[in-house]
Structure 1
Amino acid sequence: MLIGIMSDTHDNLPAIRKAVEFLNERNVDLVIHAGDYVAPFVAGELRKLKAPLKGVFGNNDGERKGLYEALGICDEILEIEADGMKIAVTHGTDERIVRALARSRLYDVVIVGHTHHYEIREEGRTILVNPGEVCGYLTGVKSVALLDTRKREVTIINIETGELLGAMSL
């Protein structure tokens, strides 16, 4: 299964459009959003994804009822199982929760956002993935991640240039 991972879209419709186009071109089977959509009007672009979207709330998602109605987003923490891999998703606002999820030994992958900085790192036997920011507001880099559960690898890609920003085998 190929999973697209995004975070911190922050209402940037042109960037969201680019991320959706990128993920659709790669025929991902599922898209995970690690929060900070911000407003429900982003649903118009996110609904153009060919794959189902699952996600969690971020600290800037003030219109939660609207996001729930538009996209079905309703959780702070999400658990997903794909090809035998256990995945936890949280925005990452509280680093203690991120560490607890990663160190719990319950998950193969923990996905976060919040910092706007892309990263792939090992935390014990768990891989921690932050796809960076789709919006590009803080770092100037608009990025997403791809998790291939069959190949057991994760990559982070700049959606504007196609540049590989990071990769790790699980």
Structure 2
Amino acid sequence: MKATLLALTLILSLSMGQIVQAKTLTENEISGLQDSPTVTEIAQNTASITIGQAADLVTQWLNAKSRIFASPFDREIVLNLTTGKLCADTLKAIDFLIQNNSHYEYGVQKVESIEQFAASGNKATIQVKVTEDTTLYSNGKVSESSFNTKTVRYNLENWDGIWKIANSQVLN
């Protein structure tokens, strides 16, 4: 039986960039691919995020802030939810709070509405209106307090199949 050659392009995501690798396979090789864990993993890792999943990630971040910015200052959750600039800045903020005998307490934290959303490949951006009730304590006393609704843009990135917040920017 004459084997027909077919072209199959697999897209592999690696760290910061993407590499496209092409391989010509025979029909027999292709029929065995459907059960391949590599193909399944690639499909899962390149899946785009939905608007609902992006909003859920922002909500998880908001809910985690009370555990991140107050004792015991949970760094593990920072690493699970963030990457890049937001991760580095948050870890520095924790160190600053500890060194200055300070912490935050939160009341209402809520995504009020989703203003904009876009996703492409392993990156996405969601712009939301967020209401937060925040109080900063220094040496056991209220240092600063605010209750407001603001528009925040969150940049999201997919790392090893996990969506994380890479950066955020308050727009007003």
- TM-score (normalised: structure 1): 0.22
Which one has a larger percent helix, Structure 1 or Structure 2? 2
Whichever of the two has the greater Rg, that structure is 2
Higher relative contact order (CA 8 A, sep 6+): 1
Q: Which is richer in strand?
A: 2
TM-score by length of 2: 0.21
